[in-house]
Chain A
Amino acid sequence: MVPLSWYIMLSAVVFSIGVIGFLTRRNLIIVFISVELMLNAANISLVAFSHYLQSIKGQIMVFFIITVAAAEAAIGLAILIAFYRNNPTIKVDEINLLKG
Protein backbone atom coordinates (compact mmCIF):
# COMPACT_ATOMS: atom_id res chain seq x y z
CA MET A 1 0.00 0.00 0.00
CA VAL A 2 1.20 3.50 -0.76
CA PRO A 3 2.11 5.21 2.51
CA LEU A 4 -0.14 7.98 3.84
CA SER A 5 2.65 10.54 3.80
CA TRP A 6 2.90 10.32 0.00
CA TYR A 7 -0.72 11.37 -0.35
CA ILE A 8 -0.29 14.14 2.15
CA MET A 9 2.77 15.39 0.30
CA LEU A 10 0.86 15.29 -2.98
CA SER A 11 -1.97 17.27 -1.44
CA ALA A 12 0.47 19.77 0.09
CA VAL A 13 2.13 20.24 -3.31
CA VAL A 14 -1.19 20.69 -5.10
CA PHE A 15 -2.35 23.12 -2.42
CA SER A 16 0.85 25.15 -2.73
CA ILE A 17 0.54 25.26 -6.53
CA GLY A 18 -3.00 26.57 -6.01
CA VAL A 19 -1.90 29.25 -3.54
CA ILE A 20 0.98 30.39 -5.75
CA GLY A 21 -1.27 30.41 -8.80
CA PHE A 22 -3.87 32.46 -6.95
CA LEU A 23 -1.31 35.02 -5.83
CA THR A 24 0.74 35.36 -9.01
CA ARG A 25 -1.49 34.78 -12.03
CA ARG A 26 -3.20 37.76 -13.61
CA ASN A 27 -5.96 36.06 -15.58
CA LEU A 28 -9.13 35.67 -13.53
CA ILE A 29 -10.02 32.31 -15.05
CA ILE A 30 -6.61 30.93 -14.09
CA VAL A 31 -6.99 32.43 -10.62
CA PHE A 32 -10.31 30.67 -10.39
CA ILE A 33 -8.82 27.35 -11.45
CA SER A 34 -6.14 27.81 -8.78
CA VAL A 35 -8.85 28.03 -6.13
CA GLU A 36 -10.37 24.81 -7.44
CA LEU A 37 -6.92 23.24 -7.20
CA MET A 38 -6.71 24.22 -3.54
CA LEU A 39 -10.13 22.69 -2.85
CA ASN A 40 -9.08 19.48 -4.56
CA ALA A 41 -5.88 19.37 -2.52
CA ALA A 42 -8.06 19.37 0.58
CA ASN A 43 -10.12 16.59 -1.01
CA ILE A 44 -7.04 14.46 -1.63
CA SER A 45 -5.87 14.70 1.95
CA LEU A 46 -9.38 14.12 3.33
CA VAL A 47 -9.84 10.96 1.29
CA ALA A 48 -6.36 9.72 2.19
CA PHE A 49 -6.93 10.32 5.89
CA SER A 50 -10.37 8.79 5.67
CA HIS A 51 -8.91 5.64 4.12
CA TYR A 52 -6.09 5.30 6.61
CA LEU A 53 -8.21 6.07 9.65
CA GLN A 54 -10.96 3.72 8.41
CA SER A 55 -13.41 6.51 9.17
CA ILE A 56 -16.11 7.50 6.71
CA LYS A 57 -16.44 11.11 7.84
CA GLY A 58 -13.66 12.41 5.61
CA GLN A 59 -15.37 11.03 2.53
CA ILE A 60 -18.69 12.58 3.55
CA MET A 61 -16.87 15.89 3.80
CA VAL A 62 -15.47 15.37 0.28
CA PHE A 63 -18.98 14.91 -1.13
CA PHE A 64 -20.00 18.22 0.35
CA ILE A 65 -16.86 19.93 -0.90
CA ILE A 66 -17.45 18.67 -4.45
CA THR A 67 -21.03 19.93 -4.41
CA VAL A 68 -20.17 23.28 -2.91
CA ALA A 69 -17.28 23.69 -5.35
CA ALA A 70 -19.72 23.20 -8.22
CA ALA A 71 -22.09 25.80 -6.80
CA GLU A 72 -19.14 28.09 -6.22
CA ALA A 73 -17.97 27.66 -9.81
CA ALA A 74 -21.43 28.51 -11.11
CA ILE A 75 -21.72 31.62 -8.97
CA GLY A 76 -18.15 32.69 -9.70
CA LEU A 77 -18.66 32.43 -13.44
CA ALA A 78 -21.96 34.27 -13.17
CA ILE A 79 -20.30 37.13 -11.31
CA LEU A 80 -17.45 37.13 -13.82
CA ILE A 81 -19.88 37.34 -16.75
CA ALA A 82 -21.85 40.13 -15.08
CA PHE A 83 -18.59 42.00 -14.60
CA TYR A 84 -17.39 41.32 -18.13
CA ARG A 85 -20.59 42.69 -19.63
CA ASN A 86 -19.99 46.08 -18.05
CA ASN A 87 -16.24 46.11 -18.21
CA PRO A 88 -14.60 43.86 -20.78
CA THR A 89 -11.42 42.74 -19.04
CA ILE A 90 -10.42 39.68 -17.08
CA LYS A 91 -7.00 40.97 -16.11
CA VAL A 92 -6.59 41.37 -12.36
CA ASP A 93 -4.53 44.56 -12.69
CA GLU A 94 -7.28 46.34 -14.60
CA ILE A 95 -9.91 45.84 -11.91
CA ASN A 96 -9.23 48.93 -9.87
CA LEU A 97 -12.34 51.05 -9.62
CA LEU A 98 -12.62 50.57 -5.87
CA LYS A 99 -9.54 51.50 -3.92
CA GLY A 100 -8.30 53.64 -1.08
Chain B
Amino acid sequence: MPGTYIPLNYLPVLIILIVATLVGLLPLLLGIILRPKRYYPLKLTPYESGNPPVGEPQSKFSVRFYIIAMLFVVFDVEAVFLYPWAVAYDRIGLYGFIEMIIFIFILLIGYIYVWEKKALEWE
Protein backbone atom coordinates (compact mmCIF):
# COMPACT_ATOMS: atom_id res chain seq x y z
CA MET B 1 0.00 0.00 0.00
CA PRO B 2 1.23 3.52 -0.65
CA GLY B 3 2.43 5.14 2.55
CA THR B 4 3.70 1.97 4.18
CA TYR B 5 6.54 1.57 1.70
CA ILE B 6 9.45 4.01 1.53
CA PRO B 7 11.62 3.46 -1.54
CA LEU B 8 15.01 4.09 0.11
CA ASN B 9 16.86 2.65 -2.87
CA TYR B 10 15.52 5.43 -5.00
CA LEU B 11 16.67 8.19 -2.61
CA PRO B 12 19.70 9.16 -4.78
CA VAL B 13 17.35 9.60 -7.73
CA LEU B 14 15.22 11.99 -5.70
CA ILE B 15 18.30 13.93 -4.58
CA ILE B 16 19.66 14.27 -8.11
CA LEU B 17 16.21 15.35 -9.26
CA ILE B 18 16.14 18.14 -6.68
CA VAL B 19 19.74 19.18 -7.39
CA ALA B 20 19.12 19.26 -11.14
CA THR B 21 16.02 21.39 -10.67
CA LEU B 22 17.89 23.80 -8.44
CA VAL B 23 20.83 24.09 -10.83
CA GLY B 24 18.39 25.00 -13.55
CA LEU B 25 16.20 27.37 -11.58
CA LEU B 26 18.64 29.16 -9.27
CA PRO B 27 20.53 31.21 -11.89
CA LEU B 28 17.24 32.28 -13.46
CA LEU B 29 15.78 33.27 -10.11
CA LEU B 30 18.95 35.13 -9.15
CA GLY B 31 18.85 36.94 -12.47
CA ILE B 32 15.27 38.04 -11.92
CA ILE B 33 16.02 39.24 -8.42
CA LEU B 34 19.34 40.98 -9.07
CA ARG B 35 19.06 42.54 -12.51
CA PRO B 36 17.89 46.14 -12.92
CA LYS B 37 14.50 46.39 -14.66
CA ARG B 38 14.61 49.03 -17.40
CA TYR B 39 12.48 48.11 -20.44
CA TYR B 40 12.33 50.04 -23.70
CA PRO B 41 11.36 48.76 -27.18
CA LEU B 42 14.88 48.17 -28.46
CA LYS B 43 15.68 46.21 -25.33
CA LEU B 44 12.79 43.84 -25.99
CA THR B 45 13.78 42.88 -29.55
CA PRO B 46 15.18 39.37 -29.93
CA TYR B 47 18.60 40.60 -31.07
CA GLU B 48 19.83 43.57 -29.10
CA SER B 49 22.71 44.00 -31.54
CA GLY B 50 20.33 45.85 -33.83
CA ASN B 51 19.52 43.16 -36.39
CA PRO B 52 15.78 43.30 -37.06
CA PRO B 53 14.31 39.75 -36.93
CA VAL B 54 13.14 38.33 -40.27
CA GLY B 55 10.21 35.95 -40.72
CA GLU B 56 8.11 33.98 -38.28
CA PRO B 57 9.71 32.60 -35.15
CA GLN B 58 8.18 29.18 -35.87
CA SER B 59 9.43 28.42 -39.35
CA LYS B 60 7.55 25.84 -41.38
CA PHE B 61 9.10 22.50 -42.10
CA SER B 62 8.85 20.97 -45.51
CA VAL B 63 6.18 18.30 -45.64
CA ARG B 64 8.94 15.95 -46.79
CA PHE B 65 10.22 15.78 -43.24
CA TYR B 66 6.90 14.41 -42.07
CA ILE B 67 6.86 11.72 -44.73
CA ILE B 68 10.40 10.60 -43.94
CA ALA B 69 9.63 10.71 -40.20
CA MET B 70 6.47 8.65 -40.64
CA LEU B 71 8.29 6.04 -42.69
CA PHE B 72 11.08 5.97 -40.15
CA VAL B 73 8.68 5.44 -37.25
CA VAL B 74 6.85 2.63 -38.99
CA PHE B 75 9.92 0.74 -40.12
CA ASP B 76 11.85 1.42 -36.95
CA VAL B 77 9.26 0.13 -34.53
CA GLU B 78 9.21 -3.25 -36.23
CA ALA B 79 12.53 -3.86 -34.50
CA VAL B 80 10.47 -4.35 -31.35
CA PHE B 81 9.61 -7.80 -32.67
CA LEU B 82 13.12 -8.59 -33.86
CA TYR B 83 14.75 -8.40 -30.42
CA PRO B 84 12.60 -10.96 -28.58
CA TRP B 85 12.77 -13.15 -31.64
CA ALA B 86 16.57 -13.01 -31.69
CA VAL B 87 16.80 -13.70 -27.94
CA ALA B 88 14.51 -16.72 -28.12
CA TYR B 89 15.81 -17.91 -31.48
CA ASP B 90 17.38 -21.15 -30.24
CA ARG B 91 14.13 -22.20 -28.60
CA ILE B 92 11.63 -21.45 -31.35
CA GLY B 93 13.71 -22.90 -34.17
CA LEU B 94 12.53 -23.27 -37.72
CA TYR B 95 8.97 -22.25 -36.97
CA GLY B 96 10.10 -18.91 -35.60
CA PHE B 97 12.51 -18.46 -38.49
CA ILE B 98 9.79 -18.92 -41.09
CA GLU B 99 7.47 -16.60 -39.17
CA MET B 100 10.13 -13.89 -39.18
CA ILE B 101 10.81 -14.39 -42.90
CA ILE B 102 7.10 -13.84 -43.56
CA PHE B 103 7.13 -10.78 -41.33
CA ILE B 104 10.14 -9.26 -43.09
CA PHE B 105 8.62 -10.14 -46.45
CA ILE B 106 5.46 -8.16 -45.62
CA LEU B 107 7.63 -5.21 -44.58
CA LEU B 108 9.54 -5.59 -47.83
CA ILE B 109 6.32 -5.21 -49.81
CA GLY B 110 5.68 -1.97 -47.94
CA TYR B 111 9.22 -0.86 -48.72
CA ILE B 112 8.84 -1.62 -52.45
CA TYR B 113 5.56 0.30 -52.44
CA VAL B 114 7.13 3.34 -50.78
CA TRP B 115 10.08 3.22 -53.15
CA GLU B 116 7.95 2.92 -56.28
CA LYS B 117 5.69 5.76 -55.09
CA LYS B 118 8.83 7.94 -54.94
CA ALA B 119 8.28 8.78 -51.28
CA LEU B 120 11.98 8.31 -50.58
CA GLU B 121 13.15 10.95 -53.05
CA TRP B 122 13.74 14.41 -51.72
CA GLU B 123 12.81 16.42 -54.81
Contacts and interface: CB of A to CB of B under 8 A. Distances in A.
Interface of A: 2-3, 5-6, 9, 63, 66-67, 70-71, 73-74, 77-78, 81
B84 A70 contact: no
Interface of B: 1-2, 5, 7, 63, 66, 69-71, 73-74, 76-78, 80-81, 84
A73 to B, nearest CB: 6
Given A2-B7, A67-B77, A77 B2 contact: no
A35 to B, nearest CB: 15
Given A5-B2, A9-B2, 13 more contacts: A2-B5, A3-B2, A6-B2, A63-B80, A66-B80, A67-B77, A70-B76, A73-B70, A74-B70, A77-B69, A77-B70, A81-B63, A81-B66
A95 B82 CA distance: 41
